[in-house]
A and B are shown apart, each in its own frame.
Chain A
Amino acid sequence: MGAGLNGGRTIGDVVLDLQGISLAFGGVQALQEVTFDVREHEIRAIIGPNGAGKSSMLNVINGIYHPQQGTVTFNGVTRHSVNTHKAAVQGIARTFQNIALFKGMSVLDNIMTGRNLRMKSSLLAQALRVGSAEREEMEHREAVERVIDFLEIQAYRRTPVGRLPYGLQKRVDLARALAMEPNLLLLDEPMAGMNVEEKQDMCRFILDVNDQLGTTIVLIEHDMGVVMDISDRVVVLDYGKKIGDGTPAEVRGNQAVIDAYLGISH
């Protein structure tokens, strides 16, 4: 992984800043006063035991949940609540823990949907396939082909996604998100349910995306080993509170983290 690299990417300024996020469902406090930031080009992991609030955090960033308190600042724009559509327009893409692909469509069509926001031609022009629309479709198709090439799924373009094995479905999920050419990529347990070989492939792809496309990545993951290997900085959540934040080495040495996370999970 990354052997022989001299580290071409440089971590930039803060692109995503979360301040004092609190989120409750009825009486359940999912997140309490969580504050952390994400810098440009970095791989930022959110870890924690089950029920720690990792997914809730991701859904706040993505605009699915609206926190009761706190602010989310993305690319300098602060918002209290945003819907998913607006998040997508701002350049935030995501994958899902329990793959949420469009099962009735082929791999190619699934990835093409990722280009939806970028397509401009009018409905009529598309339906009639007039010149400019045709050209636009070709341009987007080319972008999609680059993603297909990048994630090495050329063999499955026409396959209905429902027929693919799990590991490949996860890859298509990532491909659809990449087709959006996002500034910020949210990965919800990208390695969940994979075998060792699939995990290695996925790690390689995540690192490649980060390195070659320069995409900022926030990922939540249960598998500690993987996270420590590929992340630049790690946030640790436990019962909705932040209990640790720093480089993998720092987090590993943090007593609160060892007690709360490593202690009980192993």
Chain B
Amino acid sequence: MAQSDTISGGNVDTFPLLLLEHARKQGNRIAIREKDLGIWQSWTWAQVGNEVCALAGGLAELGFRRGDSLAIIGDNRPRLYWAITAAQCLGGVPVPMYQDAAASELQYVLQDAGIRFAIVEDQEQVDKLIECRERSPGLEYILYDDARGLRHYSQPFVRSLDAVQDLGCGRIGKQPQFIATEIAQGKPEDVAIMLYTSGTTGKPKGVCITHCALINAARGGCAFDRLGADEEILSYLPMAWVGDNLFSYAQALVAGFTVNCPESGDTVMTDMREIGPTYYFAPPRVFENLLTQVMIRIEDAAAIKRGVFHYFMDVARRCGAEILDGKSVGAGERLLYALGNVLVYGPLRNVLGMSRVRVAYTAGAAIGPDLFRFYRSIGINLKQLYGSTETCAYVCLQQDGHIKLDTVGIPAPGVEVKIADSGEVLVKSSAMFKEYYKRPDATAETMDADGYFHTGDAGFFDQDGQLKIIDRAKDVGKMASGALFAPNYIENKLKFSPNIREAVAFGHGRKMVCAFFNIDIGAVGNWAERRNIPYSGYTDLAQKEEVYALVRECVEKANAELALDPALCDSQVHRFLILHKELDPDDDELTRTRKVRRGFVEEKYAVLIDALYSGKTSQFIETQVKFEDGRSGKISADLRIEEAKTYPSAAAKKAA
């Protein structure tokens, strides 16, 4: 492992030591706030130091030992963050879990990690754990933060954190050097935290991350975006997610900035406006929800307001992102944008609580280009990063001024990224997980002998050295020419049109890419009616010449975009057909979550694939289908097969 080349910060290299240092150097500054009963309560670094010590002392009194695991379950609460540090002080391993997980899911982790102690937020979690304890008696203590509704719980193993901290104070009173001695025994190579990932297959695995790896990721990230002790953040993401751990815990302790815990899940938007964070992190769905809420309010507004909003949003769409990137924009547009900033974008940023945001990141899933551009165009410096639990969410970051919609940026400081022959993204870094807990087989599977972690994602570097993630590595194939074939990427591009419901691309081991389509009967049906094209049903409509022309247009548009990328130029769709029936989960063609079952479709419609590649212009097909009432029947049709225009690659054009 690459732990030798740590970005060292002296010998302050564990989280408890970082906390002690802040308590000493900036003891009077605010470390954390929580909104409670409508008021922001705050704790200074010195106070947090004392709270953590009391908690650690109490845990030790109850019998928590070096190497023990501590489950932490609940919303973002100061004491739950302190619990992480408290466990680390004693050389234990905190294991945050998702607060909305069912008892059975918690049960698995409790057993897998051999957990004896749990610190939880409230009655809801206590109830779940009491249920778990009936089957996992190894759980010795359930300690809670919020006493509401727990007054009558008389079980001796259910205790309040107040009581535990009292115990701790007693212990420290008798043995003042106790905590300091424990902290001194901690080593940077110790496991600092264990985060469970669901993974795509199989049971969740515990990802063990050392102090040194997490601190390296945090230091690298802070340096990259020049984050200092003056930042304010709002911590509202699940504590069990690596993103929150890096953002609200590791980076906060490294940079010494202030963490703010919202009052409840419902109040995040209000709390955000009150705090005005300077640094912000959210998965794409949060950005999407925020935008939706804003749009609903705009649509409710008076006509004049609405008109002004849409006018200036058009201006922002034209030039906002460019202005943020510092590119050259005409003086007229600049003036309009400045006016829009006063009238629309400024108030909008304020409503979103992002007036002071200097750096915002999104990660965890691909963000829609429109959504991404919206935030950038109103002057919010939203960027993407790429990482996973195993890599401490720290692989690639977008640099200020070098933002592209479809890449995730350049490798972060201290991270080496290379692309395997299969197209898979491999990562070697000083911020790498140590192992999967008790799963050497799984660890060996993802970590090769040279120390590269196999991300399972396929991607490539574009001309500017920015990483572009295109697909899951296991779905990526190779064309006969040796070029990369990323079916999901191609299909997503094709499905961008509202007229196309489903697309299935073929090309692995072939000379060219061909595709099946399902049209969207709603959208295309409407379109046909407006044009007075009569049709009797899906099968009939799908075979209309006009509909083929419509689909061809979409295909050619996608081809033009694919041609721009040298790595994907060979993936342009040459021939296609529109299926005579909609792919259906009842016919096993789709999964219940509506993902195409590629292998099954390929086998079932082999005759159509042969026709696509043999140059025929039509093919007869008859298919057994199940109707909704349970009867089965047959659908048959003569399917047209058409060709689409393809484009020379950008590189080829330059050469010519």
Which residues of chain A from 146 to 169 have any CB-CB distance to chain B below 8 Å in the complex? 146, 148-149, 152, 154-155, 157-158
- B152 near A6 (CB under 8 angstroms)? yes
Give the shortest distance, in Å, between B156 (CB) and chain A (any CB): 13
Please report the C-alpha to C-alpha distance between residue A142 and residue B36 in the assembled complex, in whole angstroms. 11
**A145 engages B37 (CB within 8 Å):** yes
**CA of A208 to CA of B266 in the docked complex: distance in angstroms?**
21
The residue that B263 contacts in the complex, of A8, A154, A208, with Cβ under 8 A, is A154
Decide yes or no whether B130 CB sits under 8 A from chain A.
Answer: yes
B residues 129-186 in Cβ contact with A at 8 Å: 130, 148-149, 151-154
Q: Is A3's beta carbon under 8 Å from chain B?
A: yes
Chain A, residue nearest B154 (CB): A6
Q: Would A152 and B264 be within 8 Å (CB), given that A3-B127, A142-B37, A145-B38 are in contact?
A: yes
Contact A154 B127 (CB under 8 A): no
Contacting residues, chain B, for A157 (C-beta < 8 A): 38
* Cβ-defined contact, B270 with A155, below 8 A: yes
Does B614 sit at the interface, judged by CB under 8 A?
no
* Nearest neighbor of B158 in chain A, beta-carbon distance: A4
Q: Does B267 contact A (CB under 8 A)?
A: yes
Q: Are B37 and A146 in contact (CB under 8 A)?
A: yes
Question: Which residues from B are CB-within-8-Å of A142?
Answer: 37
Tell me, rounded to whole Å, the shortest Cβ–Cβ distance linking A138 to chain B: 10
Name the B residues within 8 Å of A152 (CB-CB).
264, 266
Q: Find the A residue at minimum CB distance from B123.
A: A4
CA distance A120 to B187 in the complex (A): 61
Contact residue among B127, B130, B152, B270 (Cβ-Cβ distance under 8 Å from A7): B152
Known contacts A148-B38, A155-B264; A8/B151 CB under 8 A: yes
Contact residues in B for A7 (Cβ distance below 8 Å) = 152
Q: How far is the CA of A208 from the CA of B124 in the complex (A)?
A: 14
Given the known interface contacts A154-B264, A155-B267, the answer about A212 and B37 at a Cβ–Cβ threshold of 8 Å is no
A158 to B271, CA, bound (A): 13
Query: How far, in angstroms, from A158 to B270 measured CA to CA in the complex?
Result: 10
Do the beta carbons of A154 and B266 come within 8 Å of each other?
A: yes
Judge if A5 is at the interface, Cβ distance under 8 Å: yes
Chain A 183-212 interface residues, beta-carbon cutoff 8 Å to B: 208, 212
Task: Identify which of residues 466-494 in chain B touch chain A, using a CB-to-CB cut-off of 8 Å.
Answer: none
Q: Report how far A212 CA is from B148 CA in the complex, Å.
A: 9
B-side interface mostly: loop
Most chain-A Cβ atoms within 10 A of its Cβ — which of B127, B130, B151?
Answer: B151
Chain B interface size, as a band, is: 10 to 19
- Nearest to B127 among chain A residues (CB) is A3
Chain B min CB distance to A219 (Å): 21
Enumerate A1-31 residues with CB–CB distance to B below 8 Å.
3-8
Distance A98 CA – B149 CA, assembled complex (angstroms): 30
A4 touches B130 (CB 8 A): yes
Shortest CB-to-CB span from B271 to chain A, Å, is 9
Chain A residue contacts of B264, Cβ below 8 A: 152, 154-155
**In whole angstroms, how far apart are the Cα atoms of A8 and B153 in the complex?**
10
Chain A positions within 8 Å of B267 at CB level: 154-155
Is the beta-carbon distance between B266 and A155 smaller than 8 angstroms? yes
Given the complex, which residues of A lie within 8 Å of B151, measured CB to CB?
8, 212
CB under 8 Å from chain A, chain B span 33-70: 36-39
| Nearest CB of chain B from residue A56's CB, rounded to whole Å | 35
A154→B149 CA distance, assembly (Å) = 18
Contacts of B37 in A (CB 8 A): 142, 145-146, 148-149
Contact with B along A128-152 (1 / 0, CB 8 A): 0000000000000110011011001
* A-chain residues with CB within 8 Å of residue B152 when the two chains form the complex: 4-8
A4 touching B127 in the complex, CB below 8 Å, given contacts A142-B37, A208-B149: yes
Which residues in B have their C-beta under 8 angstroms from that of A155?
263-264, 266-267, 270
B51 nearest CB across to chain A (Å): 22
Residue of B nearest to A152 (CB): B264
Contacts of A208 in B (CB 8 A): 149
Contacts of B270 in A (CB 8 A): 155, 158
Distance in angstroms between the alpha carbons of A174 and B467 in the assembled complex: 55
Residues on B with beta carbons closer than 8 Å to the beta carbon of A4: 127, 130, 152-153
* Contact of B38 (CB < 8 Å), options: A3, A6, A8, A154: A154
* Chain A residues with CB below 8 A from B263, complex form: 154-155
What is the CA–CA distance of A149 and B146 in the complex, to the nearest angstrom? 12
A3 to B125, CA, bound (A): 12
Q: Which residues, 337 to 392 on B, are CB-close (under 8 Å) to A?
A: none
Smallest CB gap from A157: residue in B: B38
User: 0/1 per residue, B279-303, Cβ < 8 Å to A?
Assistant: 0000000000000000000000000
Q: Tell me the residues in window 105-137 of chain B with beta carbons closer than 8 Å to chain A beta carbons.
A: 127, 130
Rounded to whole angstroms, the CA-CA distance of A148 and B39 in the bound complex is 12
CB distance from A35 to the nearest CB of B (A): 34
In the complex, the chain B residue whose C-beta lies closest to that of A159 is B270
Query: Residues of A contacting B36 with CB < 8 Å?
Result: 149
Closest residue on chain A to residue B266 by CB atoms: A155
Among B38, B127, B149, B153, contact of A212 (Cβ-Cβ < 8 Å):
B149
| B36: min CB distance to chain A, Å | 8
Shortest distance between the CB of B288 and any CB in chain A (Å): 19
Taking the closest CB of chain A, its distance from the CB of B212, in whole angstroms, is 40
Chain A proximity of B154: nearest CB distance (Å): 6
| Residues 244-264 of B at the A interface (beta carbon under 8 Å) | 263-264
- Shortest distance between the CB of A122 and any CB in chain B (Å): 26
Which residues of A have CB within 8 Å of B39?
145
In the complex, chain A residues whose CB is within 8 Å of the CB of B127:
3-4
Q: Which residue of B lies closest to A208 (CB)?
A: B149
Min CB distance, A165 to chain B, in Å? 13
CA distance A149 to B130 in the complex (A): 25
Contacts of A141 in B (CB 8 A): 38
The CA-CA distance from A142 to B39 in the complex, in Å, is: 9
> Closest residue of chain A to B148, judged by CB?
A212
Say how far A145's CB is from chain B's closest CB, in angstroms. 4
Q: B232: shortest Cβ distance to chain A, in Å? A: 20
CB-nearest residue of chain A relative to B130? A4
Max count, chain B CB within 10 A of own CB: residue among A4, A145, A158, A208: A4
Quick one: closest A residue to B151, CB to CB? A8
List 25 contacting pairs A-B, 8 Å CB cutoff, sorted by A. A3-B127, A4-B127, A4-B130, A4-B153, A5-B153, A6-B152, A6-B153, A6-B154, A7-B152, A8-B152, A145-B37, A148-B37, A148-B38, A149-B36, A149-B37, A152-B264, A154-B38, A154-B263, A154-B267, A155-B264, A155-B266, A155-B267, A158-B270, A208-B149, A212-B149
13 additional contacts, CB 8 Å, given A4-B153, A145-B38, A155-B266?
Answer: A4-B127, A4-B130, A4-B152, A5-B152, A149-B36, A152-B264, A152-B266, A154-B38, A154-B263, A154-B266, A155-B264, A157-B38, A208-B149
7 nearest interchain CB pairs? Answer: A155-B266, A145-B37, A145-B38, A155-B267, A8-B152, A5-B152, A6-B152
